[in-house]
Amino acid sequence: MSIDVRWKQRFESFKKAVMQLTEFIEKDELNKYEVQGLIQCFEYTFELAWKTMKDYLGQEGFDVNSPRSAIQTAFQMQLIADGQTWIDALDKRDLMAHTYDEKRTMEVERLIREKYYKIIKELYFKLGDLL
């Protein structure tokens, strides 16, 4: 399968994940189980985001193998505007595994709503324009 087709297929999966994440974000009040769902949805959406970046960059001739190198290269190529927030989201992934800790859960929900959702949507629109 060509790299061009691979990134477009991955984008379709990313698009579905973004739509699911949007449903969580648009709901104001979430119960504790929905918050866990939001966090889990963000985790796989973020995973698809960097992998879609990686596939797109691969098609453009870049060799990126890790989330961090995909983010750095995407920032250099102006595919993403806020590289620091992407790196912050990458670094906070370990925190997200601790959804049993209510204080951490509230902090993660706030970060997703206030910072991380925005960068996911920006990437989604940018990649959509490149199709």
pLDDT tens, residue by residue, 35-89: 999 999 999 999 999 999 999 999 999 999 999 999 999 999 999 999 999 999 9
Q: Cα separation of 61 and 131, whole Å? A: 17
Q: Choose between 105 and 11: higher pLDDT.
A: 11
Whether 28 shows a pLDDT value over 90: the answer reads: no
Report the pLDDT value the prediction gives residue 50, as an integer from 0 to 100.
97
Task: Please state, as a whole number, how many other Cβ atoms lie within 10 Å of the Cβ of residue 16.
Answer: 12
Q: Are 118 and 89 in contact (CB under 8 A)?
A: no
78: amino acid identity, one letter? Q
Task: Please state, as a whole number, how many other Cβ atoms lie within 10 Å of the Cβ of residue 116.
Answer: 22
Whole-number percent of the chain with pLDDT over 70? 98
> DSSP per residue over 46-61, as a string?
HHHHHHHHHHHHHHTT
Q: Are 24 and 38 in contact (CB under 8 A)?
A: yes
CATH code, residues 3-130: 1.20.120.330
Report the pLDDT value the prediction gives residue 101, as an integer from 0 to 100.
82
Average pLDDT over residues 102-130: 95
